[in-house]
Structure 1
Amino acid sequence: MMCRKIVRNGVVLAGISWVMACIPNALAQQSQQMQQQQSVLQRLEALEQENQVLKANQRKLIAEQSASETAASSNNKKRASSTQTGLQTNAEFGYGLLDPTTDIRFKQLAILQARQDGTLPANSVNLQGAVTAIANYQESNEADRFGYLMRHPTGANQVGTSVSEAVVHSAQLGFSASLGGWVSANMELLFDPEQSFGSGINTDIERNQVHVRKAFVLLGNLAESPFYLSLGKMVIPFGLTDTVNPFTASTVWHAFGGIANGATLGYVKNGLNLSFMAIEGGSQFRAANTPVNGTNVPSKLNNHAVDVNYTVPLADGHSLLAGASYQRGSAYCQEFPIQHFEPCNDNNPAYDIYARYQAGKLTLKAEWAETTEKWPGTFNPVSFPQFAASDVTSFDVGLKYRSGLLGMPADVSVEFSRFDAGPDDAPWEKQDQYVLGLAAFATSSVKLFAEYIRTDGFAPLNFLSGGLGGTPAGPPLSSATAHSDVYLVGINAAF
């Protein structure tokens, strides 16, 4: 019994000893584990701090890169804005450039002013176009002799004593480009079978061609300089040649409104406008002809025109434009029998004086143009030796008043103009034109119009004084007793 107790106590003591021996080891292991965990936590904290630093650096780099890209993009846009062009349309600007009745001579100035006021922004291209459609009825007291000048007055256009038509009179398409600070370019395509110089009737293919009416490069910046230079095919700076009519041109334009190749130097400042054009010699597109070595070949700059005009500002916003022009070689230089564009033996100069008064709704204009020498071809030595050669004169007076019609702005106009090419009582003495017009604007670029036109006399340029049929004894196309009446409506729509 005693022995069992001793053994049991020994076992208990041994167990206690073993436990006591194990406790330090366990405590040591636990302490070691805690140290390891603390080390891991310290490492994790260090990694987190490093991660925060890396993220901050990354955000800084992204911000710097974004700022750099924004600056680069801005610089690229600035560079692009100075080299790239934008396409635009401006109906009011396009209508003004293509309008064949008003400011015919001042289209270059219109472009320069549009650049200056922002209508034609820097590095942009304005596309413009217009279509003019008409319908009319005409009567003449003499067969085949219609003095209406908005289509060529020949037997290829009208026959008999009464005619009528509904046609496209003209279609135009063009552009005006602002390129850099000083360079502009302008071009106009024209379809005009009614007034084409092609042969045949007005449905023949030669009469239905589209051609470049005007095309020029313009150097100028009115914000920097009052001088400008235009080079190409353009209107000659001679006279005003405008009309107050909504559609029908004045006989001054028909007689002296020129288009030619050449170079124009201009100056405009404080109402003063000076123009000098060096014109290609020979026979030009309209109203200009000087001989080149006895031919009509355009191979020398031996013609020129100069114009001076001044606009006087008056009270209440009124203004008065007055000017004078000179041209070395007009179209009136051929010998008998007269054929348009043929060579001349010598040039025949011309001069023009004009004025336009604008007072609110009222516009008044007057113009006188005349050659300084006689037109040799107006003397017919075979059939009409009693009529001496004559100089050529054309003049007009007109009035226009702005009112309203059916809620639309409307213009009422009246104009008289004359073409005088012969002595008293000659068949080709003169042709008078009276026009009463009404125009209403559906928009600033859409014009509805109606006209009554009366012509007295019939004086076409070709074979004016005789020689019809190619023989000197041939009769003239002209007639002092012919007269015609025209009733016309139409629409001019532009963009």
Structure 2
Amino acid sequence: MTRKTRKKALPGLLWSILALSPWLQAVLLVSSSAAQEAILGKPPLDAGPVSSIAVRTDTELFRYMLDFQNRQNSKEVALLLNHDTWGDDQLTVTLGGQARFSLLAATTNTADKFSYLGRFPTDFSGDSATDARVLQANTAMTVHAGSWVNFYGELLFSDVFSFADFKQGSLQTRQAYAVFGDLDVTPWYAFVGKKNLSFGDMSTLSPFTQAVPWHYFGALGEGIGAGYAGEKLHVAVQAVNGSRGIRVADSEEKGKLNNVAANAIYTIDIAESSRLQLGSSFLLGTIYDGNVAEHLDPAVSGETNSAYDINALLQVGQWSFAGEFVSTVDDWPVTNHPVRAYKTEAAYDTCLFETPSRLSVSWSEGIQGDEGTEFEFNNQLVLGLGMQVSPHALLTAEYVRSIGFAPLLGITTVSDRDVVQNSAVFGATLVF
């Protein structure tokens, strides 16, 4: 992420549509003195001259912020890095969107058991599957309200994160948080709201399919935190609201800030085109603390079971190498074994048919049972190709081999270590 991003004027038709957004209406409404007087019943406090409003799109920024494939935990820093683009005095609203489409064709060696982690196992039956859908569609807005104040909000439609009704989808406010800081003045910053927790790397070098560590330990929740974003070192510590978060975060009592996430990343420049990034994280409370395997019911809880993460990324010229290991501190009561996941990956950036492309290989594994148990592992091999056919479009093709069938729900009763699913996954990611 650089400080210099391309800016485009928003077309008239697009502006008319996006102006209907409740977020944008609120920003424009409160910026009007007359509107404030109508709402509050009195004139607003005199804060000086009212700044003008700039509304933009920024493909480079939103390619990073909306990237579902690599939902890095430190995306709030990208808002601070855009300070030079936005300026100090002008109220700047930036709008963006993304959609991810997929076509999957798969076979399994065990009828009715499909172990590809990118779908729910109950989505398919028999010994083969074909599936075409929009996986996710995001729309987001950033607001630069001053040299020290920024806001990010993201709406997510998902055809995957819908538990009750098959292929009915869901619409949710996936993230909404404020960031306070100015990296031109100090490397320290603060944030509050709902965001990806400051825990783990959770990314992948594959073009479309996420690695196992994200499926096991990806965390999103609400709270407050602070960070340090220096030239080499980035550290963030977050106090998280109690009870169940999204996916993996959990603590017993709601109504208190009683969960904690912490993350540290250090970058070493080896040469002009080579660098090494090292990371370490800690999460105080996880869902792997109860006697029931599930991640929705906040009533299912137990003695705190923390998790830690170590990760590394090495980039040497056109080559990239990544690794991550994440584990609970104690046994999960459901399986009497720690829950662990790791990945090891490599990628090569090149040009195919005059198009920027990436070839990649990824092996990742989740382990939650003793050796020989039916629920011991979920393994995944991904061979991928991604082609950036335009600044707004990424086309992908992957071969995915999923080994072992150990779904979270019913893990001790329905698991089968001998299941193998072979999948061809074609994807398209569109962003502006």
Q: TM-score per shorter chain, which class? A: 0.7 to 0.9
Name which of 226, 251, 255 aligns with 1:290.
251
Counterpart for residue 163 of structure 1: 129
- Residue of structure 1 aligned with 2:166, choices 201, 219, 231: 201
1:306 counterpart residue number: 262
Q: Is residue 2:403 matched to residue 1:463? A: no
Give the C-alpha shift of residue 341 in structure 1: 2.9
The AA in structure 1 aligned to 2:422 is: D
CA deviation string 1:39-79 (max 9, x = no partner)? xxxxxxxxxxxxxxxxxxxxxxxxxxxxxxxxxxxxxxxx7
In the alignment, the residues of structure 2 paired with residue 312 and residue 180 of structure 1 have an alpha-carbon distance, to the nearest angstrom, of 32
Question: What does 1:312-331 correspond to in 2, within 5 Å?
Answer: 312-331=268-287
Quick check: 1:289–1:341 contact (8 Å CA) kept in 2?
A: no
**Alpha-carbon distance in structure 2 between the residues aligned to 1:193 and 1:392:** 27
**Residue pair 1:338, 1:464 contacting (<8 A) in 2 also:** yes
Residue 229 (structure 2) aligned to one of 268, 284, 288 = 268
- Equivalent-residue separation in structure 1 for 2:232 and 2:113 (angstroms): 44
Aligned length: 383
Could you report, residue by residue, the CA deviation over 1:272-308 in whole angstroms, capped at 9, with x for unpaired residues?
011101011111112101111xxxxx32211101111
- For residues 262 and 180 of structure 1, the distance between their equivalents in structure 2, rounded to whole angstroms, comes to 22
Aligned to 1:247: 208
Q: 2:193 aligns with which of 229, 232, 257?
A: 232
Q: In structure 1, which of residues 344, 349, 363 is the aligned counterpart of residue 306 of structure 2?
A: 349
- Pick the structure with greater CA Rg: 1
CA distance in 1, matches of 2:69, 2:318: 17
1:19-58, Cα deviation, whole Å (9 max, x unpaired): xxxxxxxxxxxxxxxxxxxxxxxxxxxxxxxxxxxxxxxx
Please tell me whether the aligned partners of residues 325 and 343 of structure 2 are also in contact (alpha carbons under 8 angstroms): yes
Judge which range, 181-190 or 106-115, deviates more.
Answer: 106-115
1:224 Cα deviation after fit: 1.1
Aligned to 1:399: 346
Equivalent runs, 1:9-88 vs 2, <5 Å:
83-88=51-56
Give 2:151's aligned residue. 185
Distance in 1, Cα, partners of 2:302 & 2:134: 39
> CA separation of 1:452/1:94 partners in 2, compared to 1, >3 Å: closer, same or farther?
same
Give the TM-score taking structure 2 as reference length: 0.86
**Inter-partner Cα distance in structure 2 for 1:119 and 1:84:** 12
The one of 224, 238, 257 aligned to 1:277: 238
| Alpha-carbon offset, residue 89 of structure 1 | 0.3
Q: Tell me which protein shows more strand as a share of its residues.
A: 2
- Residue identity opposite 1:345 in structure 2: G
Deviant stretches of 4+, over 6 Å? none
Give the match's secondary structure for 1:302. Answer: strand
Task: Give the unaligned 5+ runs of structure 1.
Answer: 1-78, 293-297, 379-388, 466-475
CA contact (8 A) 1:251 1:395 kept: yes
Secondary structure in 1 aligned to 2:235?
strand
Distance in 2 (alpha carbons) for counterparts of 1:228 and 1:151: 37
Contact 2:203-2:214 at 8 Å conserved across structures: yes
3-state SS of the aligned residue for 1:110?
A: helix
- Amino acid in the other structure paired with 2:94: N
Matched, 1:428 2:375: yes
In the alignment, the residues of structure 1 paired with residue 89 and residue 167 of structure 2 have an alpha-carbon distance, to the nearest angstrom, of 40
Give SS of 2:223's match: strand
Paired letter, 1:239: G
Distance 1:222 1:448, change over 3 A: same
Cα RMSD, aligned residues only = 1.6
Quote how far apart the aligned CAs of 1:121 are. 9.0
Determine if contact 2:200/2:280 at 8 Å carries over to the other structure: yes
Cross-structure match for 2:116: 148
Q: Is the 8 A contact 2:51 2:89 kept in 1?
A: no
What displacement does 1:117 show? 4.9
CA separation in 1, counterparts of 2:60 and 2:87? Answer: 10
Q: Which amino acid aligns with 2:149?
A: V
C-alpha contact (below 8 Å) 2:263/2:280 kept by paired residues: yes
- Specify whether residues 159 and 283 from structure 1 end up closer, same or farther in structure 2 by C-alpha distance, changes over 3 A only: same
Report the Cα distance in structure 2 between the residues aligned to 1:209 and 1:329, rounded to whole angstroms: 27
Distance in 1 (alpha carbons) for counterparts of 2:289 and 2:403:
25
Which residue identity is paired with 2:372?
A: D
Distance 1:309 1:131 in 2: 29
Cα separation, 2, equivalents of 1:327 and 1:181: 31
Question: Quick check: 1:416 aligned with 2:382?
Answer: no
SS state at 2:257 partner: coil
Pairwise CA distance, 1:432:
0.3
Picking from 168, 173, 186, the partner of 1:212 is 173
Task: Supply the AA of the counterpart residue of 1:479.
Answer: D
On the 8 A contact 1:152/1:195 being kept in 2, the answer is no
Q: Distance in 1 between matches of 2:318 and 2:135?
A: 29
**Superimposed CA distance per residue, residues 390-422 of structure 1 (whole angstroms, 9 cap, x where no aligned partner):** 010000011111111221100001000001010
Aligned residue type for 1:275? A
Query: How far apart are the structure 1 equivalents of 2:99 and 2:320?
Result: 26
TM-score normalised by structure 1 residue count: 0.75
Q: Which amino acid aligns with 2:166?
A: I
**Greater mean alpha carbon deviation, residues 108-117 or residues 392-401:** 108-117
| Cα distance between partner residues in 2 of 1:117 and 1:424 | 54
- Aligned counterpart in structure 1 of residue 384 of structure 2, from 434, 437, 442: 437
- Is 1:487 the counterpart of 2:417? The answer is no
**For residue 428 of structure 1, what is the amino acid of its counterpart?**
F
Structure 1 position 119, deviation (Å): 9.3
Partners of 2:79 and 2:69 lie apart in 1 by: 17
Shift of residue 84, structure 1, vs aligned partner = 2.9
| Conservation of the 8 A alpha-carbon contact between 2:86 and 2:144 | no
Matched residue type, 2:215: H
